[in-house]
Amino acid sequence: MNNETQIDVASAPGFQRRWWIVWALFGSTVLNYFNRQTLSVLAPLISKELNLSHADLSHIFASFQISYALTWLLGGIFLDIVGTRLGLSIAVIWWSIVSVVTSFANSVSTFSAMRFLLGIGEGFNWPGASKGVAECFPPAERSMAVAIFDSGSSVGGAVAALSIPWIALQFGWRTAFAFSGLLGLGWLIWWLLVYPAPARGVCKQGPVERRSFQLWLTLLKRRETWAIVIGRALTDPIWWFYVFWLPQYLSDSRGFSLEKIALFAWIPFVAADAGNFAGGFASGALIKRGWPIMRARKCVCVVSCVPMLAGIPAALVQSPFWALTLICIALFGYAAWSTMGLTLPSDLFAPDVVASVTGLSGLAAGGVSTLFTLLIGALVDRFSYLPAFIAGGTMPLLATLAVLLLIRTPDSDS
């Protein structure tokens, strides 16, 4: 367990500043998902215009996941070296430029190249946000801070589902990509204003750690590292399935038009947003009632597995209403679990390696997710979406088992 001394974050102005920081991290996460969801929301329209198969779409999606996974790892190490403030600034500038350039794509190869470049920038966000939380928040408040910034993924997905179809229908789908990229400039100003430069006494940033890479290698020997890695590797593919394939699924299997996707596809992301806050609140409340930190985190993981099982009948019911309802329940459970998974690195490791641990888990999750995405494309072209929904309900059970067995800190053994 990480027992490092934390600064007095409850004192002004640090107490106020750290919440501004986490809301800025929420903003970067919203932009992150708004940018990546632009293609997913427009996939039914673009695939018809460019005559793309499900296998073509899976290769485009997988291009993003490959670079995204690598950047989670390498970006985590980079962030531990250069710091959260500079690292996230570079990342948002990068992915904003790539989004604008994507508006010129016109083939599977160019879309794949642009998604690969987009993944390089977007892979910085979660290691950087997790590092920022570890630097600025005490353990009892970290789960809620993680819930806030991680909820930006759901908000970004929902906003994209609502607005991107309208932009595309009014101005063309290429304009939608350009618009999503330009939003990053406003966030950059906000970020540089709220996140303190070193030595302002708000967050425990410390000096640059030259030995960060060497420290990261030693993490491979720890059971806790592998609990986080396995947990993420068996839950993230489920999120990617819903994020990438939900609009296409609604079009293929439920007959939704682009207008109807705009009306309904945002609802599961709102459910996921509620799950983020439910998981963060429940964990924080248990800790405040005297529960050991790890026991509280594990409890939320176990309970979250139940609603995730709702994804299996979602593929079997006839009614689109009930299918969406069950998908909402599944994403609620996933988001609650995800909040715990993203909080664990800052609970178990020192701030100077949190981004690296988070990055390692992201690499594993991205690798498995890439294979899962490619498999979905092949299965849908030949069979149906049902196997993906079944995997979505069962894989988190194995992830939770890994967390329960491998994290055996003193406060969670009972």
pLDDT tens-digit readout, 4-22: 334 343 343 455 778 888 8
- In angstroms, rounded to a whole number, what is the distance separating the alpha carbons of residues 340 and 3? 19
- CATH architecture, domain 14-195+213-412: Up-down Bundle (1.20)
Neighbour tally for 213: CB within 10 Å: 12
Token pair, residue 253, equals: 């299997």
- Tell me the residue type at 345: P
Neighbour tally for 197: CB within 10 Å: 11
List, for residues 50-70, the tens digit of each pLDDT value.
888 888 888 898 898 888 888
Q: What is the pLDDT of residue 296?
A: 92
- In angstroms, rounded to a whole number, what is the distance separating the alpha carbons of residues 354 and 83? 12
Domain boundary assignment for the chain: 14-195+213-412
Q: Which residues contact 19 (CB under 8 A, 6 or more apart)?
A: none
Q: What is the pLDDT of residue 202?
A: 54
Q: What is the mean pLDDT of residues 223-251?
A: 88
| Weakest-pLDDT range from 25-39, 77-91, 189-203, 397-411 | 189-203
Q: Which residue has the tokens 């934390």?
A: 6
pLDDT surpasses 50 at 266: yes
- Tell me the residue type at 67: S
| Average pLDDT value for the chain | 83
Q: Which residues contact 189 (CB under 8 A, 6 or more apart)?
A: none
Token pair, residue 273, equals: 């947003």
Position 134 confidence tier, pLDDT thresholds 50, 70, 90 = confident
Model pTM?
Answer: 0.72
